[in-house]
Structure 1
């Protein structure tokens, strides 16, 4: 006779996910989102910088730094240790690189004829794009401080209170 497997209803799964978020047990999900966000962001950065012919050698830095969060995020989904060691390092590097990129983009805008004008902000390097990349790093840093979903650690109540 086949074994019956209890499947949870989508509503019950949604309630569990919401309880995990509310109680700070969101580490695995945020780690996975960091990996996915890093993949999309790295691709977008590559296409943008390739369109500018990698005119400045510094344009290669985010192509190297941002993808580091992909394996770190994936490892953090499966390993609590990775979530507290490797992921924060990769994420901090992304945040630092995003801040550096913001400075370089604004410097590039200011060096255009006319300096910082509305036209140069719209036509020059994207002024706030590096900060968006920093958000991926911020997600990884957030994942490192959250508690892990699943079985509650010793001393935590199972009901999330």
Structure 2
């Protein structure tokens, strides 16, 4: 499954590059948002493929998330490279958002259907309630990238900024729950549950009432969030290595250890935030 996931991700990126080979170059804001959508969708593809494989894809609809995420990776890469063929990409991004919403409903149903209902035990060990939201965000960032080319820049910037801030708050809840399950055994586990919501607040403030000072603060906070995403990937890889057999036993430890594919989603949201700030900056048009 790991090889299939890696191959699918590579194929999606290559397909997106091929689709984006024609047409005019998009604005910088559209490129940032498109890449953010692709990075988020890539995280969803890898994470959902692994987790649904662990559940043996016992329901056919479990194939939807990795397949739609793969299409969204291709659409995001193409959007970052070219303005051409916006219509089909819009359909893909809308499909991603709808698939993510449906997945959220299914995950909550999975949690509530277990003995004890909405309990910490079920939130810890059943379908992760916030995971499908990343696909909603990927679709939203993709639509925002297209809007940055077609609509008034500040309106697109506000939409992207509020979406990014909401995504950061939602991600904080998911990460906080899972790091709480891990008893915050490493002090570094506090970093995302403190820095990420602060970034969300800075981005929301800059979006609702943009000013040079707020925009600078939000840019700095988003840069820190991007670094957290990269560093978090390293920490999660280290967590996998601590399992019995380390990386030599990767076929088991990747399933049992912390999700290596999850932290890059922070960088994906941050790219969307940078796109929003660029559109909101005075005198900028993308």
Q: Same fold (TM over 0.5)?
A: yes
1:117 is matched with which residue? 119
Unaligned runs of 5+ in 2: 1-26, 151-282
CA contact (8 A) 2:37 2:137 kept: no
1:21-40 counterparts in 2 under 5 A? 26-40=29-43
Report how many residues are paired: 127
Give, in angstroms, the shift of residue 92 of structure 1: 0.7
Aligned to 2:256: none
**Equivalent in the alignment of 2:217:** none
1:133, distance to aligned residue in structure 2 (A): 2.0
The residue number in structure 1 matching 2:140 is 138
Alpha-carbon RMSD:
2.0
Q: Which residue of 1 aligns with 2:45?
A: 42
Could you tell me which residue of structure 1 aligns to residue 83 of structure 2?
80
Partner Cα separation in structure 2 for residue 107 and residue 60 of structure 1: 18
CA contact (8 A) 1:35 1:72 kept: yes
- Larger helix share, 1 or 2: 2
Q: Tell me which of 41, 53, 64 is aligned to 1:61.
A: 64
CA contact (8 A) 1:25 1:147 kept: no
Structure 2: distance between partners of 1:130 and 1:143: 20
Which secondary structure state, in structure 2, belongs to the residue aligned with residue 85 of structure 1? helix
Aligned partners of 2:284, 2:128: CA distance in 1, in Å?
43
Q: Which has the higher contact order (CA 8 A, sep 6+)?
A: 1
Structure of higher CA gyration radius: 1
4+ long deviations beyond 3 Å: none
Change (3 A) 1:106 1:85: same
User: What displacement does 1:40 show?
Assistant: 2.3
TM-score normalised per structure 2:
0.41
Is residue 109–residue 125 contact of structure 1 (8 Å, CA) maintained in 2? yes
Q: Aligned to 2:132, what secondary structure does the other structure show?
A: helix
Tell me, in whole angstroms, the C-alpha distance in 2 between the residues paired with 1:99 and 1:88.
Answer: 17
Structure 1 partner of 2:74: 71
Cα offset, 1:106, TM superposition: 0.7
